[in-house]
Amino acid sequence: MTFYILGQHHIDYFDGKPNYYSYQVIIQLAIVAILTLVLALASGIYFTVKKSKKLGHPLWSAASRNTIKSAAIPLVTGGLFCIIVTWHHLFYLVAPCMLIFYGLALVSASKYTQSDIFWLGICQLVLGILAAVFVGYGLVFWGIGFGILHIVYGIWMYQKYK
């Protein structure tokens, strides 16, 4: 969807040039990002509630509170930082920042949940650093981190804890 929006505005993401995005493009991309976040949170909550009921575990426990608190600090900080980066039209830093702050949130939350989350966080951090180095490919790294890596991780976790 992101590449479709950029294409509609004749923006070649891979041309290696810094692009100036109009507010219309920014709003459209923000809508895509918000919808993605809402769908991710909704599916995460759905599957957590479903598994909690299946196992007969309480949904809200000390571990879940600690996990949320631990992840919220880097996530909120990263979200605010991404807004500031966007405000300054440094769009090429948004994808790396998202990956890095999300990776930090996972590493932080891993203290209160399965240790496998730690390694997912490390992978996100590495992808974020690579996205910051290879500036013109931030969306590709973003897609790998939030798409492919989560699918592979989800399949692996499902098989491991079946």
Q: How many CB atoms lie within 10 A of CB 23?
A: 8
Q: Would the CA dihedral through 153, 82, 3, 30 be positive or negative?
A: positive
Taking the CA of residue 59 as centre, how many other CA atoms within 13 Å lie in the half-sphere pointing to its CB? 10
- Segment 58-64 shows an average pLDDT of 80
Mean pLDDT, the chain, whole residue set: 85
- pLDDT one-digit tens code per residue, 20-57: 677 788 788 788 888 887 887 788 788 778 878 888 88
pLDDT confidence band for 19 (50 / 70 / 90):
low
Give the span between the Cα atoms of 48 and 115, in whole angstroms. 17
Tracing tokens 């969807």 back to the chain, one arrives at 1
C-beta separation of 70 from 109 below 8 A: yes
Calculate the CA dihedral of residues 104, 105, 109, 110 and round it to 10 degrees: -40
22: left (phi over 0), alpha (psi -120 to 50) or beta: beta
- Residues contacting residue 89 through CB under 8 Å, at least 6 positions apart: 20, 21
